[in-house]
Chain A
Amino acid sequence: MKIVVCVKHVPDAAADRTFTEDGSTDRASVDSLLSELDEYAIEQALRIAEADGADTEISYLTVGPDDARDALRKALAMGGDSAIHVSDEGIEGSDAFGTSLVLARAIERHGFDLVLCGMASTDGAMGVVPAMLAERLGVPAVTHVEGLTVDDGTVSGRREGDGATVSVQGTLPAVVSVTDRSGDARYPSFKGIMAAKRKPVETLDLADLGVDPAQVGRSGARSAVDTTARRPPRTKGEIVVDDGAGGAGLAAFLTARKFI
């Protein structure tokens, strides 16, 4: 089985993230790392490969600038076989439509039985790229699941949807996204980190994929940011140390604010 795991290199959520003047995410000012939510997808791929034996091949795919390679190295250190890095100046400023188009073309070129994604990125956090990929590839989208099983040409999982928990099943080939409840991700071992250095990473650009530059990047974006503004910092209110009357004091505060 051929598994492609889509991974994203994102600004560290613990750092102070900002925008550049044109309203896109400022990637230069903070450290970036492999999106934590993608580690769950990598973990599932590795578990499937472990259960399946030698027949499974895992490739990682990322779209992004040069340093996005770091995300691929981290993924390869956790396990897997090879990686694809799509990098092209024309991609900068892509929205989910542009990104999903590039990903879909790269996945088609490589071939796949299963595409695995995290439930959302930790920066843009729209959580729509897996659904868009399935739409573009014309295959089932088994999204937002935990309890993932791949068996006999089908993929199944449990999904907490908008109003219900549902058990879902699709046939392979398929796109799957897993939540942070799908199973803890492993840490790369020292051996894994060393081995990752020798694993092949292929670099592709838009021309290699036959993607029209007008469809991606800023020119392909289908929405525009009008304004970005830092929320005014919350003014820190009164912090009292409980001297035996903290609960009553809290009740007085809530009464003053008309919650009681």
Chain B
Amino acid sequence: MSSNYQSKKLDKKQKRCVAIIQNECKIEPVADGISKYVAILNAGLSTGLTEELVLETVEKFGKITRLLMLPNKSYCFMECSSTEDAQNIVQNMNGISKIGQKEAVVYLSYFDSLPQAEDSNWLKPLPKGLVILNDFVTEEEEKLLLDVIKMDNVEVDAALKHRRVKHFGYEFIYGKNNVDPHKPLTNKIPQKCDALWPRLESISKSCNYDFDWYVPDQLTVNSYEPGQGIPPHVDTHSAFLDPILSLSLESDVVLEFRKGLEKRSVLLPRRSLLVMSGEARYDWTHGITPRVLDVVMTANGNLSTRRRSKRTSLTFRRLRRAPCNCNFPLLCDTKLEALKRTESTIESEKAALLEEKNVHNVYDHIAEHFSETRHSPWPQVADFLKSFPQSSILLDVGCGNGKYLNCNPNLLNIGCDRSSGLLKVCSSLNYQTFRCDCIHVPVRSNSVDGCISIAVIHHLATKERRLMAIKELARILRPSGQGLIYVWAKDQNANNKKSSYLRQNKSVNKQKATEEQQRQQTQQQLEEKAKEAPVSLPVHTNRTEFLQQDVLVPWKVKNASAQQSEAEKSTFLRYYHVFEENELESLIGEVNDIKLVKSYYDQGNHCVIFEKLSKSL
């Protein structure tokens, strides 16, 4: 009975594995039959299976023509030479063999075909400007280099996830990701390295490699234990010249390159020299995933795993001592700094023009689609509206499609907006509105009990104009009347809670939105479009954190007609001034006849409730 129970349990487990494969790979098991396609159900790349082990075990029982191992999967597939081979393999291994797995035995099942393999990023061309020179140093040289570097007496660095690091020539300061060229270290690059440079020069000449190079003056040595890695990064543009050289000692490792959505895995063999120049150096990030096993492509073109051992990398660089002049702006710290300096320098003469072109015109174009996407009122705004007694006069300045004009039907709700497109939407819903801008509200002073300004003031391009808008709200309020303002926050992550704006970005959920991942395929096109704006401003990448306060935010119109499918035609750039913490409160402080009642952070916005003082009557 117990053995029957055992076999039933196994049967159940096997069925569950088959169902997973059916679902994930869209292939069908061959019920009661035999085929030459066999799946190993519970061992694969994710459980550390190697091509070598599979071949060694399987070929005792039959011949296979193809082994297919999929990344991150705990199963793999074989195409056998014949159904006889397949049958023999299954009979001898199913529920018996362990193929080097520590715990359970493996299960095998027949399938009708092999799954469609995804386009492996191993098969795509390497990033431009990336060269790997195999066997760049001999084993003897490897030993000599390790001796002079003396990593053993370097303390582990907790801040660097316990990776050991040592600098020669100049210290690389991790906090600011730069070097101080005025503080050379007494520890220069060891002379043992000198032999490498004539070698590199002669190879680059004989192979016609397309990189200029300089004898390095800075060396960072990293010592990685198996399981350690380094997050995706780009070597700071302004800190170092092109190219970056990296010598791998003691172990192979897989380096992951990323550029926007593009990904490449590159195997760095032990004793090879990696040369990153041009695009590979400036426009791709590189990093090492912290893990013990790497997935690599074998000479047969199959994926397999490789166990890491301790690895030491020598990264040789040459200080730039000047701003970067590269042609790859997206990851360029020099370019980014320049963008930050353009902040708060929007001239007042251009502010109105910028708002006209990159706010009002855009809203008129997108009114319909915008309105479709804005139907549910934010709860805390609705709560504010419900706090007023019956017959209170409520003015919504910048009412958009009027979604707040029926939150509390006990009020006399009036809305106004600059966009006639949005006002038409209000009109169709029988809401009371008029057209005006928010710095000249045509309403008599001291006349309304409440006013709200939701997502409006961040469209004004100078501090002066933002202040004028708040003064208008203060002017129209009657004494003891209250106003509520929402503006977009630069920090979309306050209280460690991602705003829904960020949450909607699934990829950001998966991996932290670092500056380096803030790229999209359309970015370049949008940068072009941004040149049409009256003021030169950076284009924000949607659903990522803001890098600057004054930005152009793309609005993509969905269901655009076929001719409009290019990003250029269907994407509009809206101007935003996103608010720093306390910036809104300090504006309120500059207005005489109101006092701050409450300020809070809600849905990625900075929000204030303020009250008109009684004495101002």
* B partners with A: no
